[in-house]
Amino acid sequence: MDPNPEPASSGDENNNAVLEHRSFARIGFLGNPSDVYFGRTISFTIGNFWASAKLEPSDHLLIKPHPYHDLVRFDSLDNLVCRLNSEGYYGGVRLLMAICKVFRSYCKDNDIHLHDRNFTLSYDTNIPRQTGLSGSSAIVSATLSCLLDFYSVRHLIRIEVRPNLILNAEKELGIVAGLQDRVAQVYGGGLVHMDFSKEHMDRVGYGIYTIMDINLLPPLHLIYTENPSDSGKVHSTVRRKWLDGDEFIISSMAEIAKLAEEGRTALLNKDYTKLKLLMNRNFDLRRSIFGDECLGAVNIEMVEVARKIGAAAKFTGSGGAVVAFCPDGPSQVKLLKEECKKAGFIVEPVKLVPTRLNNSDLKTLSKP
């Protein structure tokens, strides 16, 4: 299956068109998690995994449950309990409903007219659960793209605003997150530098997003476990401490944000020795802020397995998967694969995808 197909044509060309869009898994490369602390980050989406949404015109508005992720039929009571323990209570239907609500509210508030035709929405995803690859927001992002085309309003909703719509949909469901993942997915590939400085965020409600050449990245590898059982404690007191003015938390987050700036310079200069140091420092700072109990033993082990053979390694998000860089080349990659196999981890090359923004999208970009 082609991980990077051409998006379907927009609804204004054919009112009966079936629309399908993809949104890819995300790697937070440098600066995370400072995006929720008015920091800076560098992120990109990868072609290894993606979520897709399909919109088909229909007489009634229908949100179709996924045959696996929204399962409501089980072989037995034990099967139901086992399923809930591994997958949780929530599938993707709620995500589709939430973005429909947020999209409609935004259009109403901004005097964007929507036609009254109905549709059927469905989704699919191969992004592994609980791996910190932004699987939920990928589903929402893909769905938003379908809505933009079905209602022919892509040119009326600026690219910089779209990540906020995705985040607002997730907030409707109690999902706590920042804009970084949604920005990377809305920009649809490529490398994106993000500046979430408080002055700019307070003034316009979103950050300053700069597209960089994806080919500046060196070869990278993704490490994750097939059945994540220890993703660490999601909730933490860090944000409360930051809001309360904790000097250690504030200074550490500022240092993490600075890593994204240094990383941008290192990438532009192709200084991969520096890049290795920045990746490792990013993880070390996160670990000092959140602590091992919050990060989770398995997550820490994935980083340490990579570092043991001299690779740089850090979380792709808040835990569940790790991005590794082997500066010594193929021989070091071979060692990484051997050590990951011993530890029971999956390792695979990161597949880069170019930006998928079309001309209509690019016209909505703010001028620098």
Q: How many CB atoms lie within 10 A of CB 123?
A: 25
- At a CB cut-off of 8 Å and minimum separation 6, what does 100 contact? 63, 121, 143, 147
Query: Is 18 in contact with 54 (CB distance < 8 Å)?
Result: yes
Q: What does the block give as tokens for 4?
A: 């990077």
- Angle of helix 135-150 relative to helix 93-109, nearest 10 degrees, comes to 50
Pairing of strands 118-125, 62-63: parallel
Cα distance between residue 65 and residue 72, in whole Å: 9
How far, in Å, CA of 102 to CA of 134, rounded?
19
At CA 154, angle to CA 111 and CA 138, rounded to 5?
A: 115
Q: Is 246 a catalytic residue?
A: no
Instruction: Determine what percent of the chain falls in helix, strand and coil, rounding each to the nearest 5.
Output: 45, 20, 40
C-beta of residue 327 within 8 angstroms of C-beta of residue 218 = yes
CA atoms within 13 A on the CB side of 348: 12
Q: Find out whether 46 and 184 touch, Cβ atoms under 8 Å.
A: no
Burial state string for 230-244 with b = 16 or more CB within 10 A and e = fewer than 16: bbbeeebebeeebee
Provide CB contacts within 8 A for 363, sequence distance 6+: 155
Catalytic residue among 181, 195, 230, 244: 181
Asked whether the beta carbons of 172 and 101 are under 8 A apart, the reply is yes
Active-site residue set: 181
